[in-house]
Amino acid sequence: MPRLILSPRLAASRRFTFLVLLGGILAGLVVSGGFLLTQGMGLSDLASQFVGYTFGNPAGLDQTLTRSIPLILVGLSVAVCLKVKFWNIGVEGQLWAGAMAATAVSLYHIGPEAVRLWVMCVAAMLGGGLWCGVCALARVRLRANEVVTTLLMNYVAYMLAQQLLYGAWRNPQDSFPVSKVFAPGETLALLGFGHVHAGIFFSLGAALFCWWLCGFARVGYMAKAVAANPAAARAVGVPAGAVVLLMATLGGALSGLAGFTIVCGEEHRLTQFVGNDFIFPSIVIAYLARSNPLGVVVAAIAIAALYTAGDSLKAFYQLPGATVLTIEAILLLCVCCAEFWLRYQLGWAKSTKVAP
């Protein structure tokens, strides 16, 4: 009797890969659109919200670009870590750590005023890098599962920030749980287009740097070897542990930088809403971009547009705040399931003749 068997696909052509991924994204969009139609939206409403408002309107475009600045950085963070098969579920904690480090530099007046902004930037990267680096060290030296450690470090950073905001850093003037507003020299300049600030250069620069690092530098090449087969990489002399540690610390630093762009570019102080809702978007962005740093920029802008559309859906159609998360989940679900066909193939089992 013929039997269906599942077997690994040894190689998928570029064209097939592209078609499968495109199919996954389109399926995700169709399912999400259908879901929104059941929530009482018309087709023309969908088009006007998602295309017209997010890209065709200066206010929408401004919101999208501003939101994409930290999203690019956290997406890069997950993507860089994935290059060595390190699951970074802790971008929020690293972002909080970066934001707190930058705020500490401002509050305690560390470094000369002329370069204060750069000191804040470096401090944020150190904070984020430390937050992820300890998890990488624990994985490399102690074989601690990084999914659990990076996850736990989110809560540690969040609680620490709350403790500071309700304690030592509370605004002395009105005793709201926010830090003092930064001095003018400690903020990122606006670029003259709505709220878009100079942080966008940090994001794009980071994307270019990661693209170079992963594609052209020796470390990137070693990372590929470690991801493909750690034991073989170690056997040919690649310092596998050091590579994982380096890439994961870099990933953490990128999330810390995202915290820096939020406190210095958008909020101009530490607030309670600095590090909310970044974990899942960062994973979606890195995955849709297939961990390609330049692809992350495109994916992050697309997801930022989704948030812009989500805000207006909330305002004009009274859809709940969960809309964006649901659409992201449906999109990722469809792309994951489509990818199945890149890795496996279904076929009929051949009847094998046994020699007499």
Partner 1 sequence: MMELFTAWVGSIPAFAAPFLLATAGLIINERAGVMNLGAEGVMAMAAVTSVLMEMAGHGTALALLSGIGAGLGLAAIFGIMAVFLRVDQVLAGLVAFALGIGVSGFLGDGSENQTVNGISPPPGSDFAFLPKLLAGVLDQDWLTWFAFFAAIAVWFIIERTDLGLRLRAVGEDAPAADAAGVNVALYRFGAVLAGGVLCAIAGAHLSLVGAHIWVDGMVAGRGWIAVAMVTLSRWNALRAIAAALLFGAIQALVPQLLSSGMNVPVYFIQMSPYLATLAYLLIAGLFAKGADAQPADLGRPYLREERR
Residues that bind partner 1 (CB under 8 A): 5-8, 39, 87, 89, 138, 141-145, 147-149, 151-153, 155-156, 159-160, 162-163, 166-167, 280, 283, 287, 319-323, 325-330, 332-333, 336-337, 339-340, 343-344
User: Which residue lies nearer to partner 1 by CB, 6 or 114?
Assistant: 6
Shortest approach of partner 1 to residue 62 CB, angstroms? 26
Give the total residue count for the chain. Answer: 356
Q: How many CA atoms lie within 13 A of 329 on its CB side?
A: 6
Q: How far is the CB of 222 from partner 1 (least distance, A)?
A: 22
Confirm if 189 and 195 have CB atoms less than 8 A apart.
Answer: no
Exposed / middle / buried, residue 273 (Cβ in 10 Å: 0-12, 13-18, 19+) = exposed
* Tokens matching residue 198: 């100079």
As given in the structure block, the two tokens for residue 282 are 């960062």
Q: What is the DSSP annotation of 239-259?
A: -HHHHHHHHHHHHHHHHHHHH
Query: Comparing C-alpha atoms, which of 243, 195, 191, 201 is closest to residue 67?
Result: 195
Question: Which is nearer to partner 1, 308 or 323 (by Cβ)?
Answer: 323
Nearest approach, Cβ of 318 to partner 1 (angstroms)?
8
- Nearest approach, Cβ of 146 to partner 1 (angstroms)? 10
| Min dist. Cβ of residue 325 to partner 1 (A) | 4
Nearer to partner 1 by C-beta: 162 or 212? Answer: 162
Give 217 or 228: the residue with its C-beta nearer to partner 1.
Answer: 228
CA–CA dist 68, 275 (Å, integer): 14
Q: CA-CA distance, 16 to 79, in Å (whole number)?
A: 23
Residue closer to partner 1, measured from CB, 43 or 322:
322
Q: How far apart are CA 187 and CA 133, in angstroms?
A: 27
Q: Which residue, 5 or 208, has its beta carbon nearer to partner 1?
A: 5
CB of 11 to partner 1, least distance (A): 15
- DSSP helix/strand/coil, 347: strand
Residue position matching structure tokens 């670009």: 65
Minimum gap (Å) between residue 344 Cβ and partner 1:
7
CB of 106 or CB of 154, closer to partner 1: 154
**Chain-centroid distance, C-alpha 66:** 15
